[in-house]
Structure formats: structure tokens, C-alpha cells
């Protein structure tokens, strides 16, 4: 993938130097509050390799987010397919993110997600991008709303990948953004 630059960030493929941060965000209790698992180092390395390969293959994915001024990787933001959710139509693309806690509240996710929306709509020609999160994950749904996504309560769902041992994490809220609405929002911001 060709790196995407925003005002403060570089969105790029994963590099070996990112392994420690990737493991940290996938094992941190605060970051993973709404996930039923934590990854050990071996699992995190394997997942990072999987994301790297997918980005090389597709040209997009859950990509590393780096602060341009310092070169420090802070987590990931990107877009990817939703093949793991068989009830969604084939070709559905979601946006998602995960940052180390010390970078929360600085607008990095919204900034990067906006760049990925532009990539998805302008470069890939997508008609819609979706996102979803555990019902109680207000931090993530607030980002979805900030980037112009709209809740679709009729599409809320119980995530099939969440084990019965974690009932509070099952219910997910669903958000969507059409290219038409994204373009209208972009025009209104000028």
C-alpha cells in the first residue's frame, strides 16, 4: 500500500519495528475492554503478519498509524472486509481502529478514519462503509458519529464470534455511511 498522509499521521503497512506496540495494544486491559480475548506475543505477531499480508494483497486494511513528526506507531486505523460476519452482504467494508491509551482523546482516530473514508469512497469507489462496536463502547460510537456515520438500530446484532461466557460483549450496534452522504458532508464542510 502507498502510505496515506494526514495532517499529523502516516497510515502505512506494518513493519517489524511495530511488533512491541502491536502486542501491547492487543494485550492491554483498557484497549481490549470490549473484546473477550487478549493476545500473547506469539498471537500478536501472527495477527500483525496476517494484517501485513492482507494490506499487501488488497492495498488496504487495518494499517499502522504513525505520528508523522516522531515516527512513533500509535496503533491501527483502517478499512477491511467483513467476511467474518456471514450475515453481511459480500463485499461489505468496515472501518475500525485500536490505539494505545496514551494516544486516546487527541483526535487521531477521527483524523485517520476520515482519510480511510476518502480512500474507500474515492479510490475504491465504495458505495458504503460500515462500522460496529459493542453496545456499551461509547468511545468508538462517538468516533463513528464524529466521522459522519449514522446508527442503524435495525442492523444491530449479536456478534457470532463472542462466546457465551461474555454476554455483555455480544450485542453490537451498527453504523453506516453512504458515499452520497459522505460527499454531501464533505461539500457542506467547504
How confident is the model at residue 128, as a pLDDT? Answer: 98
Q: What is the pLDDT along the chain (190 residues), one digit of tens a residue?
A: 899 999 999 999 999 999 999 999 999 999 999 999 999 999 999 999 999 999 999 999 999 999 999 999 999 999 999 998 989 999 999 999 999 999 999 999 999 999 999 999 999 999 999 999 999 999 999 999 999 999 999 999 999 999 999 999 999 999 999 999 999 999 998 8
Helix (H, G, I), strand (E, B) or coil at 33: coil
CA 150 distance to own-chain centroid? 16
The DSSP result for 130-186, as a single string, is: EEEEETT-HHHHHHHHHTT-EE-GGG-EE-TTS-TT-GGGTEEEEEEEEHHHHHHHH
User: Residue 153: which CATH number?
Assistant: 3.40.630.30
Contact present, 179 and 128 (Cβ < 8 Å): yes
| H or E stretch at 11 | strand 9-12
How confident is the model at residue 12, as a pLDDT? Answer: 98
C-alpha cell at 106: 487527541
Contact present, 78 and 96 (Cβ < 8 Å): yes
Helix 41-58 to helix 19-27 angle (10° resolution) is 110
How confident is the model at residue 189, as a pLDDT? Answer: 86
**What total number of domains does the chain contain?**
1
165: Cβ contacts below 8 Å, ≥ 6 apart: 36
Boundaries of domain holding 55: 4-189
Amino acid at each position: 500500500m502507498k502510505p496515506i498522509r494526514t495532517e499529523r499521521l502516516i497510515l502505512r503497512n506494518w513493519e517489524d519495528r511495530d511488533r512491541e506496540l502491536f502486542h501491547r495494544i492487543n494485550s492491554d486491559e483498557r484497549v481490549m475492554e470490549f473484546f473477550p480475548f487478549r493476545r500473547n506475543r506469539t498471537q500478536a505477531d501472527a495477527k500483525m503478519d496476517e494484517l501485513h499480508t492482507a494490506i499487501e494483497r488488497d492495498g488496504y486494511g487495518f494499517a499502522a498509524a504513525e505520528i508523522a513528526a516522531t515516527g512513533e506507531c500509535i496503533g491501527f486505523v483502517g478499512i477491511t472486509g467483513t467476511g467474518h460476519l456471514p450475515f453481511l452482504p459480500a463485499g461489505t467494508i468496515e472501518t475500525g481502529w485500536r490505539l494505545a491509551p496514551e494516544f486516546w482523546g487527541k483526535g487521531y482516530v477521527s483524523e485517520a478514519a476520515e482519510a480511510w473514508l476518502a480512500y474507500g469512497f474515492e479510490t475504491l469507489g465504495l458505495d458504503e462503509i460500515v462500522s460496529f462496536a459493542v453496545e456499551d463502547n461509547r468511545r468508538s460510537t462517538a468516533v463513528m458519529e464524529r466521522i459522519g456515520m449514522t446508527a442503524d438500530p435495525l442492523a444491530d446484532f449479536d456478534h457470532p464470534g463472542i462466546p457465551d461466557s461474555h454476554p455483555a460483549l455480544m450485542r453490537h450496534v451498527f453504523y453506516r455511511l453512504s458515499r452520497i452522504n459522505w460527499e454531501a458532508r464533505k461539500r457542506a464542510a467547504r
